[in-house]
A and B are shown apart, each in its own frame.
Chain A
Amino acid sequence: MNTHKKHGFWHRFFFSLDHKDIGFQYMLTIFLMVSIGGFFAYVFRMHLAYPDMKVPLFGLVTNKDYNMLITNHGLIMMMWLALGMLLAVAGNFLIPIMIGTDDMAFPKLNKISYWFFLISVILMIASFFMKRGGFGGGWTMYPPLSVGDFGYNTPYKSFADRFFTANTFVLLAITFEFISLLMGGINFFVTTLNKRAKGMTLTRMPMTVWMINIASVLFMFSVGPLIAGAFMLLLDINVGTGFYDAYRGGDPLLWEHLFWFFGHPEVYVILLPPLGFLADIISNNSRKPLYGYRFILNLTLIAAILSMMVWAHHQFVSGIDPRAATIFSIFTIIISLPFAGIILAYIATIWKGNLRLSLPMKWALGSVTLFTLIGGFTGLYLGAAVFDIYAHNTSFVVAHFHYTLFPTVIFGSYAAFYYWFNKFTGKELNKFWGNVHFWLTFIFFNGFAFPLFLLGLAGQQRRIADYRQFEFLMQDPLPLYRKIATISAVILILSQFIFIINFFWSMKKGKKVSSENPWQSNTLEWQTSSPPPHGNFETYPVVYHGPYEYNHPDREKDFLPQNEK
């Protein structure tokens, strides 16, 4: 079975068809993108707190630079970090090995989707270096702003002049990325349905696999109209059609609808995979079965369908029909219920458990706490349409979505990294530096995002390069809040280097894992050697149990691997 021979570096990083290698390629590419996005965040945060300062490593930030920085920070973090890390990386690493098979259903298609992803990254980076500068129209890319050149009003001379603009390149990059993720999603879906190990019924699959699949399918159905819409926007930019041009019968609001028709389900696409990791990690570390497996699953499916009916809550004051806004407000408030159920089920899982406060567990608990207490609850303010009139497009919204996305994407990914690192490298991450990294991230994330709530309530609108011209935003505590946020953000970004160094150092020189199943986990990926060979298993496992049979009363051990009779 394990007939594949060892390949060299070149082969492994460019031509390998193994799902783990492709996952690793995705991961490195995303690390590159995140460092760019993080650097942008550092520059504009510094500029906001100290407007006159030449930001080290960048220089003076002009309005144009500022718009470009915030736009690309948002795009990179939402599209490449969040979607890429949680669908592509997690799906590639985990799905085949967790369902007990050797590889994806279509390994070549998997490789092709990585190449598309790489092309999208190259296009995105190329867009920074266009003659007219980077894309500065906000990450939501609302036309007519994103059709023109953000207000220079220098006329385009030729088709090439229009084509080699940041607008075109960013849209192409996003299109390529969507195609890549669509192909990846189809691959995950088919792999999960067709290549499960013997005995691995649908309800014996670990939550992670379920969640990534639901997210992929949800992504597929929500992104369609936006792909059509992006195609139309490309034509608007390059050919001069008028789909979003009000003077031609087009409608700028149409793009907002198409964007958020994708954009809101995307929030759940991003949220679901971390919820899957959390289920696995929490159940494993509290040595108890996951509470209400089917219940969580049903709620997730309900939430996934509901999530397609709530998109216009991003547009309450954007000029949509106010009566429609009422309906969307009701659905928005309702969608909090299934997630409350899921979080309560997780709490019921740790309730009366013998918790092991390992590093992944710390990240998982941090994620649940921050996501529920602040991210989730502040959603109620914005879902209530009346308060959204005031809070829309203020820093309150910025704080809210950082509190929903950071705990899920970043904390969730870190939980997964610290949990599965042992498996895929056969080494252990340094625990001391892991703890330092966790506490620094936890404290300074709050230090960065919480002041934004207060700034937003004081009326500070988003995306303003220089707040000094607004007297009401320079009243006393507000500049201080901005400085606290900035300093915390800088420390937050710096503390991520601890992880990067820890990651690569441990991979090369870390301690070898003591056993093949260091977390005493049930799921299939821990029942093979670490790191798993090409092909994952020596002999294909046969599954007899669900994934969360911890502390089964009939057994001696406190865990019961899925492939143990």
Chain B
Amino acid sequence: MRIFPENASSYGANIDFIFWLITGVITVASIIVIFLILYPLLTKNKKRTKKEMYVKGIGFKDLKLIYLGIFILAVADFYFLYREMPYWTKIEESLPKKDLHVIIMGRQWLWEFTYPGPDGKLYTDDDVKSINQLYLPVNKVVHMDIQSYDVIHAVFIPNARFKQDALPGRNITRWVKMTKTGKFPLTCAEICGIGHANMKATVTVLSEKDFEKQLAKLYKK
């Protein structure tokens, strides 16, 4: 049994790593908290003097252990931030040099993928479209212009650990680099009306040769 779906993109492993990192730290933290809550429960019948019980927690001297707890959590928090920030920059903010540029357009309720025509440029008259079938070359950086025609949709490719909302009126460019060939699901992750549940597409990752063939097939249509 695996927890995540099979990873098929270049940055998927980074995201999984952040998950396991946080899981590791909070497992330790949870054990400490469970002990802190269970200990008073187990020792509740001890005889204690009033002076022992009457602790009000005023001033730094009393509170120093709590401050220590907060400090430890702060260190852990900032360590997560320190580890995840470069990944965020890599995935969302930067755009590596592209090998292919496609448009992903969400509509109620289908996905429309546009590839550059034989001239190799997008947004020209010879662009070709395919509905609900996204073909990607393996090990190539693909830029995706994510757009929406009517309402908010969201492109979600679980195997690539990729998700991005598609907003009407905006062109959001993100990238993905698939590392495995095969068929992967692409779903909509933002409620978009009664057909939301049926809005699914397939990402077919092909080797370079097969991809060229597939494009040629699309041109012929």
Contact = CB atoms under 8 A, between A and B. Distances in A.
Q: Do chains A and B touch in the complex (CB under 8 A)?
A: yes
Contacts of A385: 84, 88, 92
Interface stretch (A101-109, A372-380, A417-425): A372-380
Contact of A340 (B3, B22, B69, B195): B69
Nearest to A294: B58
B18 A470 contact: no
Contacts of A381: 19, 22
Contact of A352 (B40, B70, B191): B40
Interface string A542-565: 000000101111000010000000
A287 B50 CA distance: 10
A287 B77 contact: no
Interface residues on A, range: 35 or more
10 contacts: A66-B197, A152-B194, A287-B53, A294-B58, A295-B63, A334-B77, A345-B66, A348-B66, A381-B22, A390-B163
Interface string B201-221: 000000000000000000000
A372 B69 CA distance: 14
A226 to B, nearest CB: 18
Given A145-B152, A325-B88, A393-B189, A354 B53 contact: yes
A291 to B, nearest CB: 4
Contacts of B33: 347, 369, 372-373
Contact of A380 (B22, B52, B168): B22
B156 to A, nearest CB: 6
A457 B4 contact: yes
A390 B190 CA distance: 13
Interface string B38-57: 01110111101011111111
Contacts of A344: 65-66, 69-70
B66 A292 contact: yes
Contacts of A457: 3-4, 19
Contacts of A289: 54-57
Of B4, B33, B36, B89, the most chain A CB neighbours within 10 A belong to B33
B91 A151 contact: no
A552 B15 contact: no
A317 interface: yes
B29 A67 contact: no
A61 to B, nearest CB: 11
Given A289-B55, A294-B58, A144 B200 contact: no
A347 B193 contact: no
Rank and list the top 5 A-B pairs by shortest CB-CB distance, nearest first.
Answer: A246-B169, A151-B193, A459-B158, A292-B57, A291-B57
Contacts of A345: 57, 66
B57 A151 contact: no
A389 B22 contact: no
Interface in B88-106: 88-89, 91-93
A479 B61 CA distance: 53
Given A152-B194, A347-B36, A145 B80 contact: no
Interface string A136-159: 111000101100101110000000
A551 B53 contact: yes
A329 interface: yes
Nearest to A321: B93
A272 interface: no
Contacts of A350: 37, 40-41
Contacts of B195: 63, 151
Contacts of A462: 189, 191
Interface residues of B, number: 88
Contact of A365 (B37, B89, B154): B37
Given A252-B168, A354-B48, A389 B92 contact: yes
A151 B74 contact: no
Contacts of A464: 187, 196-197
Most A-side CB within 10 Å, residue of B51, B74, B88, B170: B88
A176 B145 CA distance: 41
A353 B40 CA distance: 7
A368 B22 contact: no
B139 interface: no
A251 to B, nearest CB: 7
A355 B40 contact: yes
Contacts of A348: 57, 65-66
Interface in B144-173: 150-152, 154, 156, 158-159, 161-170, 172
B123 interface: no
Given A294-B58, A348-B57, A352-B43, A384 B194 contact: no
A454 interface: yes
A341 B70 contact: yes
B69 to A, nearest CB: 5
B3 A458 contact: yes
A145 to B, nearest CB: 4
B87 A386 contact: yes
A144 B150 contact: yes
A476 B1 CA distance: 9
A289 B18 CA distance: 40
A193 interface: no
B73 interface: yes
B14 interface: yes
B156 A393 contact: yes
A57 to B, nearest CB: 23
A272 B156 CA distance: 35
B108 interface: yes
B189 A292 contact: no
Given A289-B55, A462-B189, A352 B168 contact: no
B26 interface: yes
A472 B185 contact: yes
B2 to A, nearest CB: 8
A471 B185 contact: yes
A288 B56 CA distance: 8
Contact of A322 (B22, B93, B188): B93
Given A246-B169, A354-B44, A373-B30, A138 B77 contact: no
